[in-house]
Structure 1
Amino acid sequence: MNETMIKTSSKSPADPDGENVPRIGRSMTRMRLMTGRRLIGRLAIQSAAPGLELSHLDVLDAVRRAQPAGEVTVGMIAEMLRIDPSRASRVVAEMVGRNVLRREASQADARRIVVVITPAGQDLLAEIVAQKLAIISEIVSDWPEEDVDRFAALFERFIGGYEAAFLSRDKDTPG
């Protein structure tokens, strides 16, 4: 019976005028508002790096995300965060002063300066992840394991579909 339900439900699209699609929309709005308050970042700053601002965490995260693709420059950070290069440069300078980031000469072109995460920056990133996982664990602590497993799979699938829908409609993304 379960297999029949899965086959049937996977063939019929969700009804936007039904009850569940609007519920998902309302929940997404609530989540966006909570995420917009940057609760996890604020907790990480309180516990691991008093005195930092959320913009510092944004720059640190941009460097983390860009590093696997190669060397990270201030210009790249500014582009990723959609901020003015002078603002990105100021935040990087503040983080260098706090030993969270370091500037060094590019291995590919010694005239270019790149930005690298320091061990203190890695520790801060680890604290942010720990805060996030602690909050998620607290939220699902009274859920049955099967519910957590199913939610994780469905949420991952939803976010993947959300990204795909956005990318297919975003005029700024090369296609």
Structure 2
Amino acid sequence: MMSDVLTKTPSAEPAEPDRENVPRIGRSMARMRLMTGRRLIGRLAIQSAAPGLELSHLDVLDAVRRAQPAGEVTVGMIAEMLRIDPSRASRVVADMVGRNVLRREASQADARRIVVVMTEVGQDLLAEIVAQKLAIISEIVSDWPQEDVERFAALFERFIGGYEAVFLSRDKDTPG
């Protein structure tokens, strides 16, 4: 029966707003927003993996990870991604360079420009923090049946994809 639910193709017409479940989702989102705002998973991961770091360090490390595949990463790019002042980004990067998590080097495209690169220590740290986050999520769903975990993962991905699409379609600051 559960497999029937997972394999059925969604109808072409969107469901009418549900007077009971849509408000439940809204209340759950509010609770999750509070926990996300407090950065509970990130804080727990840092406590376990790197007690000396702050959330801003984790944010910068993640920004570098996300930006590196697109090319060279600069402090200005990090500041823009995190929507923080460039001087703040520079201070956090400098601290992380001092901890051997990041390093600065000359750009291969323009030697006058300095880029930020994750060191092996940074890669190991990021991998450990990700492992800690996944361990926390695993603990949360540890008593769920496997099919519930699979279904939740698929539905949550779908929900977040829809959330992003609605936001992007309505955000006046997004070019496009």
TM-score surpassing 0.5?
yes
1:95-142 deviations in Å (ceiling 9; x for gaps): 000111100000000000000011111111111111111111111111
- Maintained 8 Å contact 2:102/2:117: yes
Partner of 1:70: 71
- Maintained 8 Å contact 2:73/2:117: yes
Q: Which has the higher contact order (CA 8 A, sep 6+)?
A: 2
Report SS of the residue matched to 1:173.
coil
Q: How does 1:156-167 map to 2 (within 5 A)?
A: 156-167=157-168
- Maintained 8 Å contact 1:106/1:113: yes
Q: Distance in 2 between matches of 1:99 and 1:129?
A: 19
Give the aligned residue type for 1:162. Y
Q: Distance in 1 between matches of 2:139 and 2:167?
A: 30
- Maintained 8 Å contact 2:103/2:119: yes
Is 2:132 the counterpart of 1:127?
no
Q: Distance in 2 between matches of 1:70 and 1:110?
A: 15
Is 2:141 the counterpart of 1:140?
yes
Normalising by the residue count of structure 1, what TM-score does the alignment of the two structures yield? Answer: 0.91
Give the aligned residue type for 2:87. S
Q: Distance in 1 between matches of 2:32 and 2:20?
A: 19
Give aligned pairs, total.
172
Q: Distance in 2 between matches of 1:111 and 1:10?
A: 56
Instruction: State the 1:16 CA deviation.
Output: 3.1
- Maintained 8 Å contact 2:96/2:102: yes
Q: Distance in 1 between matches of 2:92 and 2:134?
A: 27
1:49-95 deviations in Å (ceiling 9; x for gaps): 22211111111111111111000000000111111111110110010
Q: What 5-or-longer segments of structure 1 have no aligned partner?
A: none
Instruction: State the 1:11 CA deviation.
Output: 4.4
Identity of aligned residues (%): 90
- Maintained 8 Å contact 1:16/1:22: no
Partner of 1:58: 59
Supply the RMSD in Å over aligned alpha carbons.
1.7
Instruction: State the 1:12 CA deviation.
Output: 4.6
Report SS of the residue matched to 2:11.
helix
Instruction: State the 1:170 CA deviation.
Output: 1.1
Is 2:42 the counterpart of 1:38?
no
